[in-house]
Structure 1
Amino acid sequence: MFPFRNLDFTRFPDESSSSKDFSKILQPLSGFVGFNDLSVRILSPFHLCQDECIKLTNIQSEISNLLSAKQPVTSSFEISEDPRSKCSQRSSEKLDETSRSEVSEQALSTTEIIWLAGEKFIQSSSVGVYDSLELDLSSSTFLLGPDKKERDVQVIQHLLAAAEKVDEEQFDRAIVLLNQCDEYACAEGNPIQRLVYYFTKALRVRIGLKTGRLTSKDMEKLKWIDITKTIQSAIPTSLMVHRHVPFSQVVHLTAAQAILEAVAEAKRIHIVDLDIGIGVQFSSLIQGLASRQECPVEHLKITAVGTKSKSEIEKAGVWLEAFAVSMNLSFSFNIVMVSDMLDLDASLFKLNSNESLAVYSSFLLWTMICQQDRLECLMKVLRSINPCVIFVAENEANINSTVFVSRFTEALFYYGAHFDCLENCLSDDPARNILESVNYGHAIENILMPEKEQRTTRYVKVNVWKTFFTRFNMVQIELSTYSLYQARLVAKNFGCGSSCSLAMDGKSLLVGWKGTPLISLSVWKFT
């Protein structure tokens, strides 16, 4: 029996949800043994660095004015202690109103539309609508409603029904439902149409693998094409996302502030970045160190760790060095290349006893969940070099379950919020289509694969990471009030910033979209 039928869609998930709620199905186990047990104008990075410095200066000035006026820094921008409290109340009110009037004129977020569709799917399933489904759906009332929201709700209902049939291996019925979804789905439509487009494609891939119409070799060929597209589009897409979507700048400035506070008394600073990308994340940190009046910085060293694309890492180093020179900051850049994370060793880092060492880990750890020996090797190396602080940014979702329905539902909500975000922030920008097709599309397809296939896209929530880190005698450091207020001001600077939600989960900061957590930020050290 597909678990959708046991879910209560009338309530947005929160800590007090009943045993039939989504949060119970998606909640990770409290004990930790292993991850498998747990459920256009393109600017250069240099120009973005300059833009970010101007923005940071304005933010610091605003905070200084508030502090000098002795105003509480959290008075204007409240950060909720409960990651879902505000969204839960707002969503419940909207869904209750919408349920009474079928689909109200009130604007609903993509996540709220999914919840409403889920509620209606449960109601339909309880009277056997989809159990008695004939292969010919020509008499169906599907998508006959004139209201866009109603069509959005209906197509998600049919997508849920298709997923149920795929889970029950009723593939003929699933394909009929997917064909119906295809009539409304569109890669360049509204967020719901785009979301359904990629999820229907992924369900068809799962059917193909289950029935033998697709093989692992076929998937490898498609994967190689995706990798090629990703390499070709990585830098321009990253730059546009950094410029227009609030998440990356919130992450970068929060990380910079945490590291600046940890090395406040150090003159020589060494930062190890585990996945440096284009390097723009260090612009605000370099500015902060260069402008430090008390205890001036003598030298900053950044070491980038990589297993591929050395030429791209070298480009990041060139950009960072040029920016550091423009700030009159003594700077050096090193690269530690290994063919496999199992080959990583402390001796590869040029460590100095007079340096203060920090580690920056941004969206890397999840890539090794399917290779836990690599992850454990990395953690042991980090412990041996003993940094004073480790900043960790990770995706906040529970997409690691061996249960298909858990992965499907969590992915639907998670990527629904992302598609909603891009609609607001990137609109018709070409980078949006690239990001959705190359990054999101491939990830969704990988998440919905059968268990026997290699599922590499595996996210876990921050409470799972907390349990994992304690195995290595790590303790969490609380984010300062200053950094939290700065994060809120950064989001505020974006046109769509009011939809970027910040919430505290213990000592971790959750960054989300319209109340749906998408990213966790946390700071750690070894005891």
Structure 2
Amino acid sequence: MSSSLPPQKPDVTLSLSLRPTSSGGLKPEEGDVKLIQLLLTCASHASSGNLHHADACLRQISRLASINGDSMQRLAVRFASALAVRLVKRWPGLYKSLNINGAASASCDIVRAREIFERTFPCIEFAYAVINRVLFQAMSREHVIHVIDLGSGNPKLWVAFIRGLHELSDEFDHGPPHLKITCIGKDKEAQERLRAVLVKEAEVLSMPFQFNPVMVDIRDLKMDMLKIEPGEALALISILSLHVLLAEDDRVESHFGLSKNDQIKDTKRLNEFLEMVKSMSPKVVLLVEQESNHNSNRLVDRFVEGLHYYSAIFDSIDVAFGGFSRKDRTTLEEMFGKEIENIVSCEGMEREERHERFRQWAVRFGKVGIRPIRLWSENMDEALKVVEDYGPSGFKVISEKGSLMICWHDRPIYAVSSWNCFRFLANNDG
């Protein structure tokens, strides 16, 4: 499907000749191209406020798209729905009366969707393997290790880290280190479940352990909440969490056309957060983010980028599920549909899915003096094995400008990067 998409910076007045089949319909690949054309045209009308033309496009899309169709048809459903929500938001009373937010949230089980994604795809497990490897390299000689998890709260990551530290304990002159994990998150039940799992694991392995839950949103995090003590070797881990700090009350250009040169604007909240991180002097900061740019103020830019990015995601879903487990597939696609809805229908502080590419994060981190540590793929055997052992072909890993990126074919979809405020891994530093 992704091969049907126009170039990354397309002329949105694209005109394509569609040859009808003998039955009077469209060939499957022609139907996909027609859907892309209609979606781009509809986005143009939605951006310029031409509601009647946008409505006409949506009617045509509804005849070609299907929640049970091929990957392009299913993706079109998500983008069309997001455009419809954007249009309805022009009438706040109508939007609130329809209770769109509540209904959509109820139909999307995010927790289950994340479990399905982690179980079915190698992306997150790959990130976990990279994180563990880098943490072991950074902390191998430390007496007290304090890891701050900025929102993942996943027992699988930290159980593996605890076991890995225990296996390495013979290399510590002072015995196993004291490990403290601080987890940021507002879900009290999830925090309690994580505490129970990790405390039990540490007790079984006789490892000194402390769990520090911080019941706040990352946007409200203050340094004194983290209970950082002198002498601790500090690490921060952000897995698909940091981009929400890019949200701001920005103004949107309402016209639809070719974009100006992309500029990386300062964002006060993220700058303050990164300054706080730098003041902690962590040995390592590990960042996992979507490798795409959905942070343009212009709807057309992020709409086209979103089509390219999520077409790769939905293509990989097709291969992973192979026509089976339709319920799980739909649950997973509803999660991505919520991301698409936020990218397309929301503006200002409400728009939180502001994904940026690694090179953009490098500029933001660099401005406060946080530098990347090069991740060499040949030193990441366990992480690479995660991808190699994955059943369906299509995923691969590339090393690009200091990060490791997992790709669907040639399209990077997630980037894992490592950062610090001073050089401590000379052999890995780029």
Instruction: Report the TM range for the smaller structure's normalisation.
Output: 0.7 to 0.9
For the pair 1:288 / 2:164, whether they are aligned, the reply is: yes
For the pair 1:477 / 2:373, whether they are aligned, the reply is yes
1:389 corresponds to 2:284: yes
Question: Taking structure 1 as the reference length, what is the TM-score of the superposition?
Answer: 0.69
Per mean C-alpha deviation after superposition, the further-off stretch among 398-407 and 367-376 is 367-376
**d(CA) in 1 for partners of 2:7 and 2:285?**
40
Residue in structure 2 matched with residue 431 of structure 1 by the alignment: 328
Are the aligned partners of 1:116 and 1:153 in contact in 2 as well (CA < 8 Å)? no
Structure 2 counterparts to residues 412-431 of structure 1, below 5 A? 412-427=307-322, 428-429=324-325, 430-431=327-328
Change (3 A) 1:375 1:168: closer
Q: Do the aligned partners of 1:111 and 1:417 also contact (CA within 8 Å) in 2?
A: yes
Letter in 2 for 1:245: F
Is it true that 1:300 corresponds to 2:179 in the alignment?
yes
**Aligned match for 1:167, one of 47, 50, 62:** 47
- For structure 2, the 5+ residue unaligned runs are 249-266, 423-430
Instruction: Give me the whole-angstrom Cα distance separating, in 1, the residues matched to 2:414 and 2:157.
Output: 16
Cα 1:142–1:119 change in 2 (3 A) is farther
Match of residue 89 from structure 2? 209
From 123, 137, 146, the equivalent of 1:247 is 123
Give the residue type in structure 1 aligned to 2:64.
Y
Q: Alpha-carbon deviation of 1:213?
A: 7.7
Gaps of 5+ in 1: 1-109, 130-139
Cα distance in 2 for partners of 1:522, 1:111 equals: 26
In structure 1, give the amino acid aligned to 2:6.
Answer: W
Cα deviation per residue 1:232-255 (whole Å; 9 max; x = unaligned)?
x34433222212101011111011
Deviation at 1:214, TM superposition (A): 6.5
How far apart in 1 are the matches of 2:320 and 2:107? Answer: 23
Q: Tell me, in whole angstroms, the C-alpha distance in 1 between the residues paired with 2:223 and 2:9.
A: 50
Aligned-partner SS, 1:448: helix
Which residue matches 1:323? 201
Tell me which amino acid in the other structure corresponds to 2:290. Answer: N
Q: 1:348 to 1:142 in 2, by over 3 A?
A: farther
Q: Could you give the per-residue CA deviations for residues 3-41 of structure 1, whole angstroms, max 9, x where no partner exists? A: xxxxxxxxxxxxxxxxxxxxxxxxxxxxxxxxxxxxxxx
Is the 8 Å Cα contact of residues 376 and 399 (structure 2) preserved in structure 1? no
516-525 or 485-494, larger mean C-alpha shift: 485-494
Q: Which piece of structure 1 moves more, 165-174 or 140-149?
A: 140-149
Deviation for aligned residue 1:360: 0.8
Distance 1:302 1:178 in 2: 48
Task: Tell me the SS of whatever aligns to 2:64.
Answer: coil
Deviations 1:429-467 (A, max 9, x none): 333212212x22222122122647832221111111111
- Which residue number in structure 1 is paired with residue 15 of structure 2? 124
The separation in 1 between residues aligned to 2:349 and 2:377, in whole angstroms, is 45
Which residue does 2:262 correspond to in 1?
none
Q: Distance in 1 between matches of 2:95 and 2:14?
A: 38
Deviation at 1:352, TM superposition (A): 3.3
**Is 1:462 matched with 2:358?**
yes
Is the 1:271–1:357 Cα contact (8 Å) retained in structure 2? Answer: yes
User: SS state of the match for residue 524, structure 1?
Assistant: strand
Using structure 2 for the length normalisation, give the TM-score.
0.83
SS in 2 for 1:297: coil
Per the TM alignment, residue 268 of structure 1 is displaced from its structure 2 partner at its CA by 2.6
d(CA) in 2 for partners of 1:235, 1:454: 21
Aligned partners of 1:484, 1:157: CA distance in 2, in Å? 41
User: Structure 1 residues 174, 352: closer, same or farther in 2, change over 3 A?
Assistant: closer
1:393 Cα deviation after fit: 0.7
Distance 1:263 1:433, change over 3 A: same
**Kindly, what percent of the aligned residue pairs are identical?**
27
Give the 3-state SS of the residue equivalent to 1:124 in structure 2.
coil
Q: What amino acid is aligned across from residue 384 of structure 1 in structure 2?
A: S
Q: Deviations over 1:266-288 (max 9, x none)?
A: 13321110103333222332221
* Post-superposition offset of 1:122: 5.4
Q: Which amino acid aligns with 2:176?
A: V
Q: Are 2:60 and 1:152 equivalent residues in the alignment?
A: no
Q: Name the CA shift for 1:490/1:340 in 2 (closer, same or farther; >3 Å).
A: closer
Q: Secondary structure at the match of 1:115?
A: coil
1:199 matches 2:79? yes
Superposition deviation, residue 313 in structure 1: 1.6
CA positional deviation for 1:494: 1.0
Check conservation: 1:478, 1:508, Cα contact below 8 A. yes
For residues 143 and 257 of structure 1, the distance between their equivalents in structure 2, rounded to whole angstroms, comes to 57
Q: Does 1:359 align with 2:239?
A: no
Query: Paired residues, what number?
Result: 398
Cα distance change, pair 218–426 in 1 and its aligned pair in 2 (3 A): farther
Change over 3 Å in CA distance of 1:143–1:380 after alignment to 2 = farther
Contact conserved, 1:270 with 1:358, CA < 8 A, in 2?
yes
Instruction: Give the aligned partner of residue 3 of structure 2.
Output: 112
* 2:184 and 2:217 in contact (8 A); partners too: no
Give the conservation status (yes or no) of the 8 Å contact 2:375–2:399: no
